[in-house]
Chain A
Amino acid sequence: MNIWLAPLIVGIVSSVLSALIVIVDSIVNNYGEVEIDINNGKKKLKVKGGSPLLFTLASENIFVPSACGGRGSCGACKVKVLSDVGEYLPTELPYMSEEEIKENIRLSCQIKVKKDIKIQLPEELFNVKKLTGKVVSIKDVTHDIKEVRIKLPEEINFKAGQYVQIVVPPYDKIKQPTQRAYSIASTPSKKDEIDLLIRLVPGGIATTYVHNYLKEGDNLEVIGPFGEFYMRDTDADMICVAGGSGMAPIKSIVLDMYERGITNRNVWYFFGARTEKDLFYVELFKDLEKKWSNFHFIPALSEPMEPEKWNGEVGLITDVMVKYLENVVDKNTKKEGYLCGSPGMINACEKLLNEHGIKDVYYDKFA
Chain B
Amino acid sequence: MKMSPEMIKAQENMKPGVITAEGFLGEDDRNLVDIILQDEQEMAALKLDFDKVAQKLKKLLEVGEKGLGEPITYENFEIFVYEARGFLACPFEDGIFRKKVAVVKNLKNNETIMYSDLSIHLLEKHHFLQGKGSKFRLDPEKIKKVLFD
Contacts and interface: CB of A to CB of B under 8 A. Distances in A.
Interface of A: 67-68, 73-76, 94-95, 173-176, 178, 181, 201-205, 243-244, 246, 272-274, 278, 302-303, 316-318, 341-345, 348, 365-367
Interface stretch (B2-10, B16-24, B44-52): B16-24
Contacts of A202: 80, 101, 103, 114
Contact of B136 (A203, A344, A366): A203
B69 A244 contact: yes
Interface size class of chain B, counting residues whose CB lies under 8 Å from the partner chain: 20 to 34
Contact of A318 (B68, B80, B82, B89): B68
Contacts of B80: 202
Contacts of B86: 67-68, 73-76
Nearest to A366: B85
Contact of A175 (B16, B84, B87, B96): B16
Interface in B47-66: 65-66
5 contacts: A67-B86, A73-B19, A178-B21, A203-B101, A342-B82
Nearest to B84: A367
Interface stretch (B35-43, B70-78, B120-128, B139-147): B70-78
A303 B96 CA distance: 34
Most A-side CB within 10 Å, residue of B19, B69, B99, B101 = B69
B135 interface: yes
Given A173-B22, A203-B114, A316 B68 contact: yes
- Name the prevailing secondary structure of the A interface residues: loop
Contacts of B136: 203
Given A175-B16, A175-B17, A274 B85 contact: no
Given A274-B71, A303-B73, A345-B69, 10 more contacts: A73-B19, A73-B89, A74-B85, A74-B87, A203-B135, A205-B22, A243-B69, A244-B70, A278-B70, A366-B85
A174 B68 contact: no
A52 B103 CA distance: 36
Interface of B: 16-17, 19, 21-22, 65-73, 80-89, 96, 99, 101, 103, 114, 135-136
A344 B68 contact: yes
Most B-side CB within 10 Å, residue of A176, A318, A344, A348 = A344
B47 to A, nearest CB: 28
A343 B87 CA distance: 13
A346 to B, nearest CB: 9
A303 B68 CA distance: 13
B103 A94 contact: no
Contact of A273 (B70, B87, B114): B70
Most B-side CB within 10 Å, residue of A302, A317, A318, A343 = A343
Contacts of A274: 67, 70-72
A174 to B, nearest CB: 5
B3 to A, nearest CB: 24
A342 to B, nearest CB: 3
Nearest to B86: A74
A247 to B, nearest CB: 12
